[in-house]
């Protein structure tokens, strides 16, 4: 039976066309955005995972920046320590020269004084972003952000690597500091004094102008002990720098892995989407043709009334 009120063929063709248009819209969106899942309605579970991991990746990017800042601080301190070691080695050489009886100790002391002033300049200049790891008091510490962690329960945390300062003769700073960070030349590796008979000297305050050979020997021992402590401190800084470099490489690799993992969840397969687009466009044309045929069928009823 043919009815001019109800056209079942047209309704079926229209329903088919709606479905094709809906699929075509999804495919066109995937092709234009490059994402198979761009909203929660596409796939709530995968969208939620991808959104969370993108957020974590942003945090890791911040960790990477913080690691770069920490590396700069450590490198500044390490450069200062290397320079100070070179200067103290020069002082050691001057002391050996002063052991020669015919050498004017006053002239040698003038050279040593210049080197001592340079040590102070190096220590105070070793500041980066307001922090100086060469001038600090015992008990103080500095930290470097090392990692961002998401636990199995969903909790997040940021871990830091701590570096504790010591201003003793065997510590890891060149000079100590007071409560407001001003250099104190009476403590630290270069400021801690050693007894020379009735007098006390540090590497920084050493004066050999009137010293005997025995006093210079004591000064040599003091300088050698300072070099040993400085070398140990330099080694600590080098180890910390290596750890930061390793963590920086790991964070970068981890970020790439997360990006790749998120892509596998939500990125569109462009070859597949291209094929679907062509197929759906063809289906759309056929569905339009089918709807046109279904709509025209009722026109044949007119011929019955002619």
pLDDT band of residue 140 (cuts 50, 70, 90) is very high
Tell me the pairing of strands 199-201 and 194-196. Answer: antiparallel
**Mean pLDDT of all residues belonging to the chain:** 86
- Distances from the Cα of 47 to the Cαs of 33, 41, 43, 60, in angstroms? 15, 8, 6, 20
Q: Name which residue leads in pLDDT, 40 or 204.
A: 204
CB under 8 Å to 306, separation ≥6 — which residues? none
* Residue 171 scores a pLDDT above 70: yes
Average pLDDT over residues 11-39: 79
* Residue 302 binned pLDDT confidence (cut-offs 50, 70, 90): low
* Three-class HEC string of 72-95: HHHHHHHHHHHHHHHHHHHHHHHH
Nearest to 69 by CA among 239, 247, 233, 234: 247
Span 208-218, average pLDDT? 90
Above pLDDT 90, what percent of the chain?
40
Kindly calculate the radius of gyration of the chain based on its CA atoms and give it in whole angstroms.
39
What would the mean pLDDT of 125-141 be, rounded to a whole number? 92
Helix and strand numbers, DSSP H then E, in the chain? 5, 8
Look at residue 306 in the predicted model and tell me its pLDDT.
62
27: Cα within 13 Å, side-chain hemisphere: 19
Give me 225's structure tokens: 């002990």
Q: Which residue has the tokens 């500091």?
A: 177
Helix, strand, coil distribution of the chain in percent, nearest 5: 65, 10, 25
Strands 194-196 and 183-184: unpaired
The residues, ordered by sequence, that sit 6+ positions from 155 with a Cβ below 8 Å of its Cβ are none
- How far is Cα of residue 118 from the mean position of the Cα atoms in its chain? 33
Residue with tokens 């300072």: 226
Residue with the larger pLDDT of the pair 211 and 295:
211
C-beta of residue 139 within 8 angstroms of C-beta of residue 187? no
Q: Distance (Å, rounded) from C-alpha 59 to C-alpha 53?
A: 10
Tell whether the model's pLDDT for residue 99 goes beyond 70: yes
Q: Is the pLDDT of residue 78 over 90?
A: yes
Of residues 162, 163, 165, the one with CA closest to residue 136: 165
List, in sequence order, every residue forming a beta bridge with 135; answer none if it has no partner: 175
Q: pLDDT at position 152, please?
A: 73
- The span from the CA of 237 to the CA of 198, in Å, is 36
State the average pLDDT over residues 276-284.
Answer: 80
Contacts of 62 (CB under 8 A, 6+ apart): 148
Q: For the purposes of burial, counting CB atoms within 10 Å of the CB of 134, is it exposed (0-12), middle (13-18) or buried (19 or more)?
A: buried
CB atoms within 10 A of CB 201: 18
The beta-strand segments (E) located in 63-193 are 127-128, 131-132, 141-150, 156-164, 176-177, 183-184
pLDDT at 304: 65
- Given a cut of 90, whether residue 264 has pLDDT beyond it is no
* Angle subtended by helix axes 44-98 and 105-125, to nearest 10: 170
166 or 130: which leads in pLDDT? 166
Tell me, rounded to whole angstroms, the distance of Cα 205 from its chain centroid.
40
- Give the rounded distance of the alpha carbon of 240 from its chain centre: 14
């Amino acid at each position: 039976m043919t009815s001019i009120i109800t056209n079942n063929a047209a309704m079926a063709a229209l329903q088919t066309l709606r479905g094709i248009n809906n699929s075509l819209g999804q495919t066109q969106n995937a092709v234009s955005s490059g994402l198979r899942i761009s909203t929660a309605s596409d796939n709530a579970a995968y969208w939620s995972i991808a959104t969370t991991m993108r957020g974590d990746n942003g945090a890791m990017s911040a960790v990477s920046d913080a690691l770069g800042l920490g590396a700069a601080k450590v490198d500044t301190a390490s450069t200062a320590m290397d320079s100070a070691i070179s200067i103290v080695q020069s002082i050691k050489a001057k002391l050996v020269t002063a052991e020669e009886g015919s050498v004017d100790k006053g002239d040698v002391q003038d050279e040593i004084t210049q080197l001592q002033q340079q040590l102070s300049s190096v220590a105070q200049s070793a500041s980066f972003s307001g922090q100086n790891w060469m001038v600090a008091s015992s008990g103080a510490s500095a930290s470097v952000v090392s990692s961002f962690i998401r636990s199995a329960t969903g909790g997040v945390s940021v871990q830091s690597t701590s570096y504790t300062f010591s201003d003793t003769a065997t510590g890891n700073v060149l000079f100590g500091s007071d409560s407001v960070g001003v250099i104190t030349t009476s403590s630290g590796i270069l400021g801690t004094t050693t007894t020379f008979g009735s007098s006390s000297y540090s590497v920084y305050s050493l004066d050999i102008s009137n010293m005997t050979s025995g006093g210079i020997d004591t000064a040599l021992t003091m300088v050698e002990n300072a070099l040993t402590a400085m070398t140990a401190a330099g080694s600590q800084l080098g180890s910390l720098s290596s750890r930061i470099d390793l963590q920086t490489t790991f964070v970068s690799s981890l970020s790439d892995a997360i990006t790749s993992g998120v892509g596998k969840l939500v990125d569109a397969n462009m070859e597949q989407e291209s094929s679907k687009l062509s197929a759906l466009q063809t289906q759309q044309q056929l569905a339009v043709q089918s709807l046109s045929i279904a709509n025209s069928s009722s026109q044949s009823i007119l011929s019955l009334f002619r």
